[in-house]
Amino acid sequence: MLVLSRHEVEELLDLDALLDALAAAHAELSAGKASLVPRMGAFAGETGILGAMPAYAPSSGLGCKLVTLFPGNLDRPTHQAMIALFEPGTGTPAALMDGTYITAMRTAAAAALATRLLARPDARVLAILGTGVQSRSAQEMFPRAREFAEVRVAGRGEFEEAVRGADVVHATTAAAEPVVRFDWLSPGAHVSSVGYGAGGSELEPEIVERADVVVVEQRDSAFAPLPAGAPELEPRGRDGVVELGEIVAGTAVGRSSDEQVTLYKSVGVAVQDLAAAALVLVAARERGVGQEIELEEIHA
């Protein structure tokens, strides 16, 4: 089994290839060719949660991410993860790699993919709300999906100023109160939200209710109980959203006019982790990177 450190994962992950890999994985997911369960978790008292995210996709294989969320962390990331990959034909463990960097980059890359598909063709001003890991990841990924003439990065107290006049608004905060309000949005704006705030949402409910198109990664995950789903989507209902993979495949319509407001709400699904991890594993094997270890063979 190949073991890859965080530094090695960062060196090996091709961020340009990641957008296309995510598009393929989401198309497979929406077509019923991939298999996953909404994120499940075990709570470590009141301090954090350990989530498990297994999945299979034809384009990226079989694997599982274990991810922790400890909001009170000060000297280390609030999200930490590792990903195990298995040979899809035999179930044999193939690789174990750091998943913290992958989690950050695949989240931003999926939102960037949604922006490529949903933002107006003439969108040129991007507002990124928040200044943490997801903000920095978005600053890396969004310009790979679209060309922007202006990128605004806003912290607390600057959200309204950043949102007004923006063509694309990307929220990355842990706020339990809205940082994006419908009245601030320009006609035809595209909004994406990847933040999670316990007990609340970074989106004003009116955005969910009034958006012309609402896109999720997968209906089952988006409308699952916490720690998997997004409760703010409940008023919209399953019939009021489309999946990202459906738009990729052309089986559902995204934006149909320049005046429409579109929304992408992410909860994170395991095929995104698989798509990124598969790219890393292929690159590692090609370059001879990582440490091979032998697991004890067990005889029945």
Write the pLDDT tens digit of every residue in 218-267: 999 999 998 889 999 999 999 999 999 999 999 999 999 999 999 999 99
pLDDT, residue 300, reads 52
With b for 16 or more beta-carbon neighbours within 10 A and e for fewer, the 20-46 pattern comes to ebbbbbbbbbbeeebebebbebeeeee
Q: In the chain, at which residue ranges do the beta strands (DSSP E only) sit? A: 2-4, 35-36, 40-44, 48-57, 61-69, 79-86, 93-98, 125-129, 150-154, 168-171, 190-193, 213-216, 242-243, 262-265, 291-292
On whether both 276 and 248 belong to a single domain, the answer is no
Would you say residue 161 lies in a domain?
yes
- Can you give the pTM of this predicted structure? 0.94
Would you say residue 18 lies in a domain?
yes
On whether both 52 and 149 belong to a single domain, the answer is no
On whether both 166 and 264 belong to a single domain, the answer is yes
Cα–Cα nearest to 82, from 34, 50, 47? 50
On whether both 180 and 285 belong to a single domain, the answer is no
| Phi/psi at 235 (5° precision) | -60, -25
Would you say residue 264 lies in a domain?
yes
Count CB neighbours of 279 within 10 A: 21
Would you say residue 198 lies in a domain?
yes
Would you say residue 136 lies in a domain?
yes
Would you say residue 113 lies in a domain?
no
pLDDT, residue 297, reads 64
pLDDT, residue 187, reads 97
**Total count of domains within the chain:** 2
On whether both 280 and 236 belong to a single domain, the answer is no
Amino acid making up residue 38: P
pLDDT, residue 295, reads 82
| Enclosing domain of residue 60 | 2-103+271-292
Instruction: Please give the chain's pLDDT, 300 residues, in tens.
Output: 999 999 999 999 999 999 999 999 999 999 999 999 999 999 999 999 999 999 999 999 999 999 999 988 989 888 899 999 999 999 999 999 999 999 999 999 999 999 999 999 999 999 999 999 999 999 999 999 999 999 999 998 899 999 999 999 999 998 989 999 999 999 999 999 998 876 789 999 999 999 999 999 999 999 999 888 999 999 999 999 999 999 999 999 999 999 999 999 999 999 999 999 999 999 999 999 999 999 866 555
On whether both 135 and 218 belong to a single domain, the answer is yes
pLDDT, residue 232, reads 94
Q: Which residues 6+ apart lie within 8 Å of 84 measured at CB?
A: 63, 64, 65, 66, 93, 95, 96
For residue 227, give Cα distances in angstroms to 38, 41, 72, 100.
Answer: 9, 7, 17, 18
Long-range contacts formed by 48-54: CB under 8 A, 24+ apart: 48/72, 49/227, 51/227, 53/268, 53/269, 53/270, 53/273, 54/270
On whether both 125 and 258 belong to a single domain, the answer is yes
On whether both 228 and 286 belong to a single domain, the answer is no
On whether both 252 and 280 belong to a single domain, the answer is no
Residue that is written with structure tokens 């320049």 in the block: 258
Q: Give me the CATH number covering residue 70.
A: 3.30.1780.10
Would you say residue 300 lies in a domain?
no
Q: CA-CA distance, 217 to 219, in Å (whole number)?
A: 7
Q: Give me the CATH number covering residue 260.
A: 3.40.50.720
On whether both 134 and 254 belong to a single domain, the answer is yes
On whether both 254 and 275 belong to a single domain, the answer is no
On whether both 144 and 217 belong to a single domain, the answer is yes
Would you say residue 108 lies in a domain?
no
pLDDT, residue 226, reads 84
| Phi/psi at 72 (5° precision) | -85, 0
